[in-house]
């Protein structure tokens, strides 16, 4: 009994310390998840906590459950509309990119660590995938705003490449255990079952879960719990037939979010907290597993492998996958640098240990070191990289919150709140002059911290808070009505999108002539939209093309078509 109480005390203490320590993460410029990892290491056998934990079976179980929750949550947060611009590049990175990364790391590991080729490839597979929690936790903590395409690619890739890395790892372990009897046909069958079975069970399970949530009239607190256990059921069902449970969990979350069943907002809020708890627990356990006293023997080879992974393997994989798609070079550089490794490689490194694979401990220690280097070097410079590459997107949204609200006998309504910013359309207007759709209603107005009675609403002023009852499909329109850069001035927006506003139908040749720039022969008969489209197959707001000494930017899209173009002139020097 005393041991159980001590364990509960330790879990509570470590979790609380880790969460409190995250306050220091933004100040230090390091990823929050690194804090949890360090807290776990300090509590471990080489730290002041002196907790001896080496049960890799428990670590693998906890890691698998945590990854299932994290991937399910990631799937629910992936906007299906993002697939229009992000699916092809992210799909290539999640498949071809993983293979290229694993191959490059394997070649160097074979030479540096004198590992057998298959074992070296196993190490490459273990560290080949990026980590969704590390990537988006870092982007959020450093407040890095990105354009639609870049955000979509990073989001889809980090959620989709984990199953590929897991497939490679498990497949190579099976090959090693078979002692040469594992044939190419068996490998093809394994991959087909893992991918095909995982996809079918994920899509089907997500659809079925949405139907169940819609038809069952459960008490509100039980709705997110059913989704939570449904995710484990889908994961376990796929794994029980040797399909990819991780792919199934991710696709189930994606499908569930697409169908938006009753109570979806509460499901998202609940899983946001559960996913964080899973990440905290995962990194604390992985920190406890670490044995820093063993790392000095591998320090220089592991450091060299870290450099190869960060500076060679990842950039090469990104270039091979994205250059043929005419991806902007700045975005290629950024995607290469934001290939953060996190909990997934360390969890995968426990697989060889459980299977008794040769050099399994070397694989675990090297993978742990690579994750540390990735979080320290890449994770601490993500914001700086986005700024230096000119990829920081000014935030326009002034929405403060969004919550589900069921009316008697009706569902699918939301209460949305906005802050009225200076210079926006609503300032100086009363509610009736906002031009709201019939399905949207202003519920209340808060001014200077006080809830105003209806008769005192009058004309809206900057600083007011509005709460509105609206349908989900109206949110985008409302965002546009209230939008204005928040925390920046308008100059920052013009610096990003172009200070001169031009119609997309304007003649490119005439615009260049008006600004004293030479006119290339291939743009004589083109509009600005046509010129940009020729360089940008799938444009997003903020895309830029340098042409004849000036820079054209996509300032506004309407229905996927370029509606407004920005123009930026080169900066003049003192000698001009």
CA–CA distance, 572 with 384 (Å, rounded to integer): 25
What is the model's pLDDT at position 150?
86
State the DSSP H helix or E strand holding residue 255, giving kind and residue range, or none if neither.
Answer: helix 245-259
> What is the value of pTM for the model shown?
0.78
Out of 3.30.465.10, 2.30.42.10, 3.90.1150.10, 3.20.20.140, select the CATH number for domain 490-568: 3.30.465.10
Instruction: Kindly provide the residue ranges of all beta strands, DSSP E only, lying in 62-163, ordered along the sequence.
Output: none
pLDDT less than 50: residues of the chain: 485-489, 572-576
What is the model's pLDDT at position 50?
77
Assign domain 399-482 to its CATH architecture.
2-Layer Sandwich (3.30)
CA–CA distance, 317 with 270 (Å, rounded to integer): 36
What is the model's pLDDT at position 337?
93
User: May I ask the CATH class of domain 2-388?
Assistant: mainly alpha
- What are the pLDDT digits (tens) for 476-501? 788 878 876 444 445 566 666 666 77
Q: Terminal CA-to-CA distance of the chain, rounded, Å?
A: 80
What is the model's pLDDT at position 488?
46
Longest dimension (CA), the chain: 84
- What are the pLDDT digits (tens) for 132-183? 767 766 776 666 778 778 888 887 888 778 878 888 898 899 888 887 676 7
The residue extents of the domains of the chain are 2-388, 399-482, 490-568
Taking a C-beta distance cutoff of 8 angstroms, is the pair 227, 257 a contact? Answer: no
What is the model's pLDDT at position 573?
41
The structure tokens listed for 260 are 């938006």
């Amino acid at each position: 009994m005393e041991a159980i109480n001590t364990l509960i005390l330790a879990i509570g203490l470590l979790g609380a310390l880790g969460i409190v320590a995250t306050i220091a993460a933004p100040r230090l410029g390091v990823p929050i998840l690194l804090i949890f990892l360090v807290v776990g290491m300090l509590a471990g056998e080489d730290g002041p906590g002196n907790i001896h934990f080496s049960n890799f079976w428990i670590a693998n179980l906890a890691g698998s459950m945590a990854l299932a929750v994290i991937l399910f949550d990631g799937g629910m947060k992936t906007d299906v509309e993002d697939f229009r611009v992000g699916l092809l590049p992210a799909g290539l990175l999640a498949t071809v990119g993983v293979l290229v990364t694993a191959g490059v790391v394997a070649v160097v590991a074979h030479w540096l660590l004198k590992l057998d080729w298959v074992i070296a490839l196993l190490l490459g597979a273990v560290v080949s995938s990026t980590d969704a929690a590390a990537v988006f936790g870092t982007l959020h903590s450093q407040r890095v705003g990105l354009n639609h395409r870049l955000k979509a690619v990073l989001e889809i890739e980090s959620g989709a490449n984990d199953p590929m890395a897991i497939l490679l790892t498990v497949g190579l372990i099976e090959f090693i255990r078979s002692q040469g009897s594992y044939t190419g046909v068996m490998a093809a069958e394994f991959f087909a079952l893992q991918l095909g079975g995982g996809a079918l069970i994920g899509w089907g399970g997500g659809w079925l879960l949405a139907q169940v949530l819609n038809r069952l009239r459960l008490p509100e607190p039980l709705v997110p719990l059913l989704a939570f256990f449904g995710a484990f059921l889908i994961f376990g069902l796929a794994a029980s037939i040797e399909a990819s449970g991780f792919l199934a969990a991710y696709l189930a979350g994606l499908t569930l979010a697409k169908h938006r069943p009753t109570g979806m907002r509460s499901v998202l809020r609940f899983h946001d907290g559960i996913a964080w708890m899973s990440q905290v627990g995962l990194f604390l356990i992985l920190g406890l597993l670490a044995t820093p006293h063993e790392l000095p023997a591998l320090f220089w080879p592991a450091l060299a492998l870290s450099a190869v992974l960060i500076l060679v393997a990842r950039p090469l994989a990104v270039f091979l996958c994205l250059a043929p798609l005419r991806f902007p070079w700045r975005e290629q550089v950024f995607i290469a640098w934001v290939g953060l490794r996190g909990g997934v490689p360390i969890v995968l490194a426990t697989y060889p240990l459980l299977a008794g694979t040769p050099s399994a401990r070397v694989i675990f220690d090297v993978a742990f070191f690579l994750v540390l280097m990735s979080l320290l070097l890449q994770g601490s410079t993500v914001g700086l990289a986005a700024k230096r590459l000119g990829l920081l997107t000014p935030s326009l949204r002034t929405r403060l919150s969004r919550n589900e609200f069921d009316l008697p006998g009706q569902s699918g309504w939301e209460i949305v709140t906005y802050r009225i910013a200076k210079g926006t359309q609503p300032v100086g207007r009363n509610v009736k002059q906002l031009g709201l759709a019939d399905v949207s209603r202003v519920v209340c107005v808060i001014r200077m911290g006080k809830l105003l009675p209806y008769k005192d609403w009058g004309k809206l002023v900057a600083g007011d808070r509005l709460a509105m009852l609206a349908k989900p499909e109206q949110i985008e329109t409302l965002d546009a009505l209230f939008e204005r850069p928040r925390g920046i001035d308008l100059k920052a927006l013009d610096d990003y999108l172009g200070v001169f506003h031009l119609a997309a139908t304007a003649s490119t040749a005439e615009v260049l002539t008006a600004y004293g720039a030479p006119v290339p022969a291939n743009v004589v008969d083109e509009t600005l939209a046509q010129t940009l489209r020729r360089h940008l197959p799938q444009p997003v707001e903020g895309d830029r093309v340098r042409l004849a000494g000036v820079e054209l930017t996509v300032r506004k899209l309407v229905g996927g078509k370029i509606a407004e173009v920005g123009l930026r002139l080169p900066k003049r020097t003192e000698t001009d």
